[in-house]
Chain A
């Protein structure tokens, strides 16, 4: 397998994790930017632990999860009380704050960034094992009571609270879990890149991620498995002269999808129909 393909698989894995991290709170109607800020934290933790402290990458990953969950928990407490646009825009502040903090911390490289991060053995395999595990978690959450509660919270919060759900703690849980996944994505990002800088975790990443989520299908977990590989792959497959217009293509795709097929490529309707087909086939076999 060529090195380019390996790197591609690694990046797609990172994006899928990050996208699921944004997808989960969105199921509850929250567009929460915590995962990005925790991605930075996870990346820097993993990098620091493996490079400066010299510990194995597995420990680095574990530490990233710990710091990510902790760092994700506290803002989640505050943001669980807010909704919609407020959450989306106010949590933007987290991204700017963490970037400023990183730039001023000289012991992790400051504005110069951190390079020379030791590699993780069998990175693509470990990464995709994590992707599958995370996917299972997300699937279980989606199908469980939590998933239904999130759906209720999104469509009619007033009704949801009268049904006795504790919306606040539901939000905190989902946001913290999302931040954790974001931190894991960050750690794997650090291992893939070998070098990390504060700018990588900023507004540009946010825009690309939103693009991938909304094009792929934001009401199901499967959409990102299509949009992440395609959108990351576009610059690789089109001729280099055109590749510099990638952003225009992304923007245009996003606008077109939102106007023509607002739910994204993989819509809930589509999943339902696939489920019905699947059940039919399954029953016929018996």
Chain B
């Protein structure tokens, strides 16, 4: 047997070789970690983006809350199918506040720790109730504080998920007056006990003065079931037009009462986005022909993204058209844009600064891509076009898209 010779044979040379190797490895690691440290700041530190959503699944506005949840889930599914945000999937957890402010506060206390941003509460009152918590934790919520007054209670930690409906009413009404110039006075039905309804009428009266059209407010009680009396009262005021900012069944009831009393042209009536439900075409059939509607999202918009959503929605909701809560889809995408642009990591150590970054980004945002339009958030308010629709042949027709 030949004796093995060579440099490795002696123990001493093996030792030095080992030492050299170790030095080499250590140096490489130091250089390597130095390189990775430089990029580690940006790497996503979580396995999934946990986004909580507070909505209303129980009670009188459950139908809106259920659709809001659907819209958010649709956006999340679409995002995850395309690879998630920065390569990491999104996990949406939906909570029910049941229109109870105490539950909203309790649920918000539960979801805030560890969250970067919150979706909801869906309802205006709930959004107001959690204001203090948003301020205390400096966390952004995309909620129903849709105008400056409502936004002020949690400024700057609220961003509205949809455009201000009272602005929409004014913009829509002005277009209505242009299209139907014979309207010189309008009866506006409103519910004095509902803050949103009251806000609508105040804004409306204030902003319409420039057009020379007179506004006659007609109060309706909160539990009103029979709309004959208020309609009669309105007709008694000898107005040319009628504006109802109500939920669909009430809007239909008002239309029916008007129709049965001789107001049949249709163009005298206009509704707001709260009244765009499917009943317009079932029980309302025939009573709403030629009537108008102000909208935040046009149900008959032709943009491809929106059409795709409508097809999916119709499958889950038996052929119905979706309502304005589809704006939550835009809201989810705006969060995605924020995370991507700011290179948010989700690292718990950086929670405070990342919350602030997201809030600053979205409170006064750059131009964002929505389902039906491009929009911006200005001081928390979603600034986007409004739509005027008309019902012709028992279907919606988009008449006009108006910039705010």
Question: Looking across the interface, which residue of chain B has its beta carbon closest to that of A2?
Answer: B113
Is A275 an interface position by the 8 A CB rule? no
Given A240-B94, A244-B58, A244-B96, verify A199-B102 contact (CB < 8 Å). no
Write out the residue numbers on chain B whose beta carbons fall within 8 Å of the beta carbon of A194: 105, 129, 131-133
Write out the residue numbers on chain A whose beta carbons fall within 8 Å of the beta carbon of B113: 2-4
Write out the residue numbers on chain A whose beta carbons fall within 8 Å of the beta carbon of B57: 244
Asked whether B153 lies within 8 Å of A193 as measured between CB atoms, the reply is: no
Given A116-B153, A240-B93, A247-B98, verify A195-B129 contact (CB < 8 Å). yes
Is B101 an interface position by the 8 A CB rule? yes
Write out the residue numbers on chain B whose beta carbons fall within 8 Å of the beta carbon of A244: 57-58, 96, 98
Question: Looking across the interface, which residue of chain B has its beta carbon closest to that of A198?
Answer: B193
Write out the residue numbers on chain A whose beta carbons fall within 8 Å of the beta carbon of B214: none
A194 to B128, CA, bound (A): 9
Is A111 an interface position by the 8 A CB rule? yes
Write out the residue numbers on chain B whose beta carbons fall within 8 Å of the beta carbon of A192: 105
A241 to B58, CA, bound (A): 12
Q: A123 to chain B: closest CB distance in Å? A: 12
Q: Give the size range of A's interface with the partner.
A: 35 or more
User: In B180-203, which residues have CB < 8 Å from any A CB?
Assistant: 192-195, 198-199
Question: Looking across the interface, which residue of chain A has its beta carbon closest to that of B52?
Answer: A240
Chain B, 231-251, contact with A by CB distance < 8 Å: what is the 0/1 string?
A: 000000000000000000000
Chain B, 350-367, contact with A by CB distance < 8 Å: what is the 0/1 string?
A: 000000000000000000
Is A103 an interface position by the 8 A CB rule? yes
Asked whether A246 lies within 8 Å of B98 as measured between CB atoms, the reply is: yes
Write out the residue numbers on chain A whose beta carbons fall within 8 Å of the beta carbon of B16: none
Asked whether A246 lies within 8 Å of B58 as measured between CB atoms, the reply is: yes
- Of B96, B106, B192, the contact of A7 (CB 8 Å cutoff): B106
Write out the residue numbers on chain B whose beta carbons fall within 8 Å of the beta carbon of A195: 101, 128-129, 131-132, 153
Q: A10 to chain B: closest CB distance in Å? A: 9
Chain A, 6-48, contact with B by CB distance < 8 Å: what is the 0/1 string?
A: 1110010000000000000000000000000000000000000
Chain B, 267-284, contact with A by CB distance < 8 Å: what is the 0/1 string?
A: 000000000000000000
Write out the residue numbers on chain B whose beta carbons fall within 8 Å of the beta carbon of A235: 96, 103, 106-107
A6 to B110, CA, bound (A): 10
A111 to B194, CA, bound (A): 6
Q: B404 to chain A: closest CB distance in Å? A: 23
Question: Looking across the interface, which residue of chain A has its beta carbon closest to that of B57?
Answer: A244
A7 to B132, CA, bound (A): 13
Question: Looking across the interface, which residue of chain A has its beta carbon closest to that of B69?
Answer: A244
Question: Looking across the interface, which residue of chain A has its beta carbon closest to that of B93?
Answer: A240
Q: B298 to chain A: closest CB distance in Å? A: 30
Asked whether A197 lies within 8 Å of B125 as measured between CB atoms, the reply is: yes
User: In B100-134, which residues have CB < 8 Å from any A CB?
Assistant: 100-103, 105-107, 109-110, 112-113, 125, 128-129, 131-133
User: In A153-209, which residues have CB < 8 Å from any B CB?
Assistant: 189, 192-200, 204
Asked whether A236 lies within 8 Å of B110 as measured between CB atoms, the reply is: yes
Asked whether B195 lies within 8 Å of A113 as measured between CB atoms, the reply is: yes
Residue count of chain B within 8 Å CB distance of chain A: 32
Is A70 an interface position by the 8 A CB rule? no
Asked whether A204 lies within 8 Å of B100 as measured between CB atoms, the reply is: yes
Is A97 an interface position by the 8 A CB rule? no
Write out the residue numbers on chain A whose beta carbons fall within 8 Å of the beta carbon of B101: 193, 195-197, 199-200
- Of A103, A116, A200, the contact of B102 (CB 8 Å cutoff): A200
A192 to B106, CA, bound (A): 10
Asked whether A236 lies within 8 Å of B106 as measured between CB atoms, the reply is: yes
Is A115 an interface position by the 8 A CB rule? yes
Is A277 an interface position by the 8 A CB rule? no
Write out the residue numbers on chain A whose beta carbons fall within 8 Å of the beta carbon of B131: 115-116, 194-195
Question: Looking across the interface, which residue of chain B has its beta carbon closest to that of A111?
Answer: B195
Given A4-B109, A199-B125, verify A115-B102 contact (CB < 8 Å). no
Is A243 an interface position by the 8 A CB rule? yes
A6 to B113, CA, bound (A): 13
Asked whether A240 lies within 8 Å of B95 as measured between CB atoms, the reply is: yes
Chain A, 114-127, contact with B by CB distance < 8 Å: what is the 0/1 string?
A: 01100100000000
A130 to B149, CA, bound (A): 36
Asked whether A193 lies within 8 Å of B95 as measured between CB atoms, the reply is: no
Is A82 an interface position by the 8 A CB rule? no
- Of B94, B95, B110, B128, the contact of A113 (CB 8 Å cutoff): B128
Asked whether A7 lies within 8 Å of B58 as measured between CB atoms, the reply is: no
Q: B234 to chain A: closest CB distance in Å? A: 22
List residues of B whose CB falls within 8 A of some A CB. 57-58, 93-96, 98, 100-103, 105-107, 109-110, 112-113, 125, 128-129, 131-133, 149, 153, 192-195, 198-199
9 interchain pairs, CB-CB under 8 A: A6-B109, A7-B105, A111-B193, A111-B195, A194-B105, A194-B129, A197-B101, A200-B102, A240-B95
New contact pairs (20) apart from A4-B106, A116-B132, CB-CB < 8 Å: A6-B109, A7-B109, A8-B106, A8-B109, A103-B192, A112-B198, A113-B195, A115-B131, A115-B153, A194-B129, A194-B132, A195-B129, A196-B101, A197-B129, A199-B125, A200-B102, A235-B103, A244-B58, A244-B98, A246-B96
List residues of A whose CB falls within 8 A of some B CB. 2-4, 6-8, 11, 100, 103, 110-113, 115-116, 119, 189, 192-200, 204, 232, 235-236, 240-241, 243-244, 246-247
The 6 tightest CB contacts between A and B, nearest first, are: A244-B96, A194-B132, A244-B57, A4-B110, A7-B109, A4-B109
